[in-house]
Structure 1
Amino acid sequence: MGLNKKSIGMTEKTSTASDSDDSDFDISLSSDDSDDDSVKSVYSVNNQQDSNQNENESNEEDEVIKAIIKENQKPRDKPPCIKVEDFVADICFHPNEDILAIANIVGDVILYKYSNEENTLLDTVELHTKACRDVEFSTDGKTMFTASKDMSIMLTDMETRKLKTFFEKAHQNPIYCLSIIGQNTFATGDDNGIINIWDYRQPTPLLSVKKNDDYISDIIPVDQNKYLCCSSGDGSLTTIDLCNNKFLMQSVEYEEELTCLGTVRHETKLVSSSNKGKLFIFNMREFGMHSDEFPATKSSISSFVPITENIVVTACEDGNLRAVHLFPHRHIGIVGQHEMSVEHIDICNDGRFLASCSADNDIKFWNIKFFENFEKISHKHNKHQTKKEMQHNLPSSSKTNVGEFFSDLA
């Protein structure tokens, strides 16, 4: 950033009495000590400024590198990613042990022992002839339930990996989902909208209900197992009275697919997600129509899990896992990310980890322990903050917010 020759010449001209052109020429080339020192001084100052600027830029680069190294050297607080060969249809945590079950499209269930340091393959249990669409564990963890596109249901002993019970033609259509109800009972729903309730000690269903015109996407027992709520691709919620073992009611038909179910507020509220990114909230025992709704995202929600009595994490088609506060309605931020659509999520037995699987066959873990001390959210909210909140990366995320990353450099 030194001065050029033209500017130096003009400086000397203004500091000299009026003379001829030749005199000006002589003065500009003079070897007079005072003029020469003045020019050297200008160059010296500018060189020093350049040197200081380069040094500052170098220091800033060093600090950025240090910040990156510091970020990479943080101790691992979650299990590493699991990559499998075949498309993942479902995942499920064991209720008592650090085991994750992975159901795939070829009909197998892969069992992994997980920890912060590494994941260990325990077994590959070959079960169904077609895609294993749902895997669940009994409440004591001793039995693994699986349902398949081949229309069969299998109960497998977790200790021996041997088949305990086999329902070969449990449905006339491919089974889509399965849910554990009680110690001996469970329910299944198929692609044609049929819901069957089973006692695994009997070869035939206790009850079969056909009220839906499309697939049964999810099934959940609610209100201390008094009712069974079933969501469907036809946009309606079907409820079965488990105490009297009969159909109870069907909700209004929404103009979108209902994809997943869960309960919050100590089971006083039922929540259903949709393929249009909405969360419908029903009062318990009032399943005919929702009492509230929240447009959680513009992307389809394929699955969600409640992680506190007020907060759920949604698995979205855009590859993001988003935390949403329901009371009041607020976007909290992004829990984690995948490169492709997130298909299913589940929460582990002690609530530390969330696992998610995506369309590229990746199973990732996210440490969500920080939600234990999550502060109560204020009802006061600036609607202009919504977009920022939806893009905010939470501590569990694999990405860091720019402001947080450079906070040490301020």
Structure 2
Amino acid sequence: MDVPFAADVLDVDLLQSAVPESDRQIAVAALVSGKVCLIDYSDLHRSGSSGTKVGERNHVEDSGRPGHDAAAAGKRKRSVNRSDERNTSRLYSKAWTVKSGSKSCRAARFSVDGTSVFAIAKDMSISRIDVQTGSVLQEWKKAHDAAPSCILPISSTMFATGDDDGVVKMWDARVPTSSLHSGIGNAGSRSSVHSWSHHSDWVTDMMWRSHLRAPMKLRKDSKHKAPPQDEEIPSESRSRLICVGGDGILSVIDPRAGKKGVECSADQEDELLSVRAIKGGDKIVVGTSLGPLSIWAPSKGLLDHVDRLAGHPASVDSLDVLDEDTVLTGSSDGLVRVVQIYPHKLLGVAADHEGFPVERALHAGDWLASIGHENFIRFTSLKDLLDGSEDEGTDEDAEVQGSGDAASSSGASDDSDAEVSKSAKKEARVTATLKQASMPEASSNFFDDL
């Protein structure tokens, strides 16, 4: 299902199911017109089978579409077929629309508690908007000297931003700015909590880890340096902000250490566009402008990547974690792919934007939301894919219970065989699900050059 807008969509975020309002399925869109729009798709969620399924294409008319020319693709506009719009408009509603800045709204994100939306605009401002009413609660005017490029909520009150000049800032919403309700302070009168300028080009993406695994050497040293009995090690002692940028640098920031708490990787000689953690944080996946996914291991330090997955024919602008072994990649060739990490394999294509670069793709529950250089959000159902995963887990539990004492006596070799079997089952399940959706056939040589 496509949700159309009057202007191009630059960003989308979904309210994750872990927050208190999990019964309400909502999304927020940042528009090039400078507006922020809240969409309620609860009816679509309840309808189950309605909407676009994995791999299906919506019936969309393209007025004067000039083939697959890349330059023209970025400029052309598409309109949703009127009959389709009438059929699907009942499955969603636009709760409110608010102007967040005088220029385009570049990104919008739900706060961690789901009660507000943080939005950044090209006019260098930041806004905090109430989810229920759409009223602007706080504004930070001239928050950056350059246009902010990304924003990341860290807690219910803390968030981080990055800009086109490579500056990273951390903010605390509890610090008074311009509260339209209380009138405390002037807009932009309060500065950020922290600021770093170690990147030389735009900050493309950020990720917060409440506990980043320490390099092996540091962990060994800590064993020999036991703390005094009356001293406790805080659980958040390894909280880190991880940033990637157009300068080819991955940086790790310890906010408590101030300006000195920054570690930078070697120059990757490629723009780093997206970053996510998998395997319980043991591995970090980074999307690049040339296409390969680079794999980083915190246990070995983050000076350089430890592995690369070639195969994407174009840049990977967006990453989303489907599970601990699988990611969704949004690429500038218009495809949202399902990629398995260790063992590396392309499992299929989840959504297709017909040549429009995928700027962002993420899922919440059974639904995938993706945007391109277009004036709509595409919702794709992942129910068949995710239900298969649950069934697989049930089957595995039954196998373990039925194995009895024989399983415990089989040793490490059986554990290894079980892992291989689990991976093979998952690959077969996902591949079958994607094939059943009648989607475009994935390239057979996706990972041939590994």
Structure 1 distance, partners of 2:102, 2:308, is: 40
Say whether residues 1:399 and 2:326 are aligned partners: no
- Counterpart for residue 170 of structure 1: 143
User: For the Cα contact (< 8 Å) 2:313–2:333, is it kept in 1?
Assistant: no
Say whether residues 1:264 and 2:278 are aligned partners: yes
1:292: how far off? 1.5
Q: Which of 81, 84, 98 is matched with 2:5 structurally?
A: 84
Name the larger-Rg structure. Answer: 1
1:160: how far off? 2.2
Structure 1 distance, partners of 2:375, 2:167, is: 29
**Deviation readout 1:127-172 (Å, 9 max, x if unpaired):** 1111111111112111110111110001111122211111001000
- Counterpart for residue 255 of structure 2: 242
After the TM superposition, which residues 1-400 of structure 1 pair with which residues of structure 2 at under 5 Å, given as runs? Answer: 80-95=1-16, 96=22, 97-114=24-41, 115-116=43-44, 118-202=91-175, 203-224=190-211, 226-246=239-259, 247-284=261-298, 286-339=301-354, 340-348=356-364, 351-369=365-383, 370-374=385-389, 378=420, 394=434, 399=439
Shift in CA distance, 363/397, structure 1 to aligned 2, threshold 3 Å: farther
User: For the Cα contact (< 8 Å) 2:194–2:255, is it kept in 1?
Assistant: no
**What is the DSSP-based 3-state SS (H/G/I as helix, E as strand, rest coil) of the residue aligned with 1:394?**
helix
CA RMSD of aligned residues (A): 2.8
Higher relative contact order (CA 8 A, sep 6+): 2
**Deviation readout 1:153-195 (Å, 9 max, x if unpaired):** 0111112221111100100000000001123211100000000
**Deviation readout 1:315-366 (Å, 9 max, x if unpaired):** 1111111000001111101111112221111212xx2111001112231112
Gaps of 5+ in 2: 17-21, 48-90, 176-189, 212-235, 393-417, 424-430, 443-450
Shift in CA distance, 380/254, structure 1 to aligned 2, threshold 3 Å: farther
- Counterpart for residue 388 of structure 1: none
1:214: how far off? 0.7
User: For the Cα contact (< 8 Å) 1:313–1:322, is it kept in 2?
Assistant: yes
1:90: how far off? 0.2
**What is the DSSP-based 3-state SS (H/G/I as helix, E as strand, rest coil) of the residue aligned with 2:386?**
helix
The amino acid that maps onto 1:187 is A
- Counterpart for residue 56 of structure 2: none
The amino acid that maps onto 1:235 is G
**What is the DSSP-based 3-state SS (H/G/I as helix, E as strand, rest coil) of the residue aligned with 1:266?**
helix
User: For the Cα contact (< 8 Å) 2:325–2:342, is it kept in 1?
Assistant: yes
The amino acid that maps onto 2:8 is F
Structure 1 distance, partners of 2:344, 2:422, is: 11
Out of 243-252 and 214-223, give the one that drifted further: 243-252
Out of 283-292 and 272-281, give the one that drifted further: 283-292
Structure 1 distance, partners of 2:9, 2:438, is: 21
Shift in CA distance, 379/191, structure 1 to aligned 2, threshold 3 Å: farther
Structure 1 distance, partners of 2:127, 2:266, is: 34
1:312: how far off? 0.2
Shift in CA distance, 283/372, structure 1 to aligned 2, threshold 3 Å: farther
- Calculate percent identity across the aligned residue pairs: 29
Gaps of 5+ in 1: 1-79, 382-390, 403-410
**Deviation readout 1:76-127 (Å, 9 max, x if unpaired):** xxxx211222111100012333111110111111111113351112111221
- Counterpart for residue 62 of structure 2: none
Structure 1 distance, partners of 2:340, 2:420, is: 11
Structure 1 distance, partners of 2:360, 2:437, is: 17
Structure 1 distance, partners of 2:150, 2:246, is: 12
**What is the DSSP-based 3-state SS (H/G/I as helix, E as strand, rest coil) of the residue aligned with 2:196?**
strand
1:204: how far off? 1.1
Structure 1 distance, partners of 2:347, 2:263, is: 34
Shift in CA distance, 153/398, structure 1 to aligned 2, threshold 3 Å: farther
Matched pairs, number: 316
